[in-house]
Structure 1
Amino acid sequence: MHETKTTVFPITPIVTAVHTARKAGQTFPGFTANTLIDGNERTLILADGSSVKEWIVSIDEEERRLVFAVKEGRMPLLHHNASFQILPDSQGGSQFVWITDFLPAELTEAIQTQVVRVSAVIKQTLETESK
């Protein structure tokens, strides 16, 4: 699954916001209520009170890429791995690219809905903060 959002503002503030894994609660307002960090484990406390535990696999500042894997959450995942990457575009803005691999395939609709929703929240938040 692949989701891309194009923005019209410089890449640096986006990289800082997305790749600061400990600030997920600020990056995903209305979706994430709090974030707990324990080493490479990040627990997102969602707005509805549920939680998702993730492994932060890698943060590559040079490539502007964050890789994470859900290890426990509300969906019955057998496998999950995802990445966020910020790519510059030719007009001085940037693209936020989210790629997700998961099993079972029966969760495609639910995960696609979540990825689209959270991507829109991230885009709106970053655009608001850049003004």
Structure 2
Amino acid sequence: MATIYKEFIVEVDVAQVWDALRDFGAVHTRLAPGFLTGCELDGQGARIVHFANGLIARELLVALDDEHRRLAYTVTDGKATHHHASAQVFAAGEGRTRFVWITDVLPDGLAAYIEPMMAHGGAAMKQTLERAQKSSSGNPT
């Protein structure tokens, strides 16, 4: 099984980052607009996400843990025989958050496709969260 690990720092308070991350049905607007072009909740605990590259995936919510600021989901369709991901955020000092995103996937060969998507998605999340922070603080830069 291949594991893809992404970690990055967001210059935003952990409570604000968690608030956006835990909003499962708004990932396309609050976390990664542009990288994701749409998201609908299916009424069965899953979201259907639309990626800018045309990919569509059904992501079933596995866990939403407010105490540990962790969200986990599994992709239930597509080429992977197993796809499980989790995202967890940690305070990294005042006004900073460490964002950890891990995906396990089978077959291993899919990691070569998923890893660059996660890198792009992580960059989109960091940019979106930091831009929202600057907008809310009245700082346009």
* TM-score computed with the length of structure 1 as normaliser: 0.92
The amino acid across from 2:103 in the alignment is: T
Q: Partner of 2:20 in structure 1?
A: 17
Residue 118 (structure 2) aligned to one of 96, 115, 119: 115
Query: Paired residues, what number?
Result: 129
The amino acid across from 1:34 in the alignment is: G
SS in 2 for 1:114: helix
Equivalents in 1 of 2:122, 2:40: separation in Å? 21
| Structure 1 gap ranges (5+) | none
Equivalents in 1 of 2:59, 2:94: separation in Å? 34
Following TM superposition, where does structure 1 have runs of at least 4 consecutive aligned residues deviating by more than 3 angstroms? none
The amino acid across from 1:94 in the alignment is: T
The amino acid across from 2:8 in the alignment is: K
Equivalents in 2 of 1:48, 1:62: separation in Å? 34
Render the CA deviation track for 1:55-99: whole Å, top value 9, x for unaligned. Answer: 1111111111100001113xx111000001001114541111001
Equivalents in 1 of 2:51, 2:117: separation in Å? 12
Q: Partner of 1:44 in structure 2?
A: 49
* TM-score computed with the length of structure 2 as normaliser: 0.85
Q: Is the 2:35–2:51 Cα contact (8 Å) retained in structure 1? A: yes
Render the CA deviation track for 1:28-50: whole Å, top value 9, x for unaligned. Answer: 11121211112311101223443
Q: Partner of 1:31 in structure 2?
A: 35
Equivalents in 1 of 2:85, 2:120: separation in Å? 16
SS in 1 for 2:76: strand
Equivalents in 1 of 2:55, 2:80: separation in Å? 16
Question: How large is the Cα RMSD of the aligned pairs?
Answer: 1.3
| Structure 2 gap ranges (5+) | 135-141
Residue 58 (structure 1) aligned to one of 41, 63, 76: 63
The amino acid across from 1:85 in the alignment is: Q
The amino acid across from 2:77 in the alignment is: E
**Structure 1 residue 7 corresponds to structure 2 residue 10:** yes
SS in 1 for 2:120: helix
Moved more, 14-23 or 38-47: 38-47
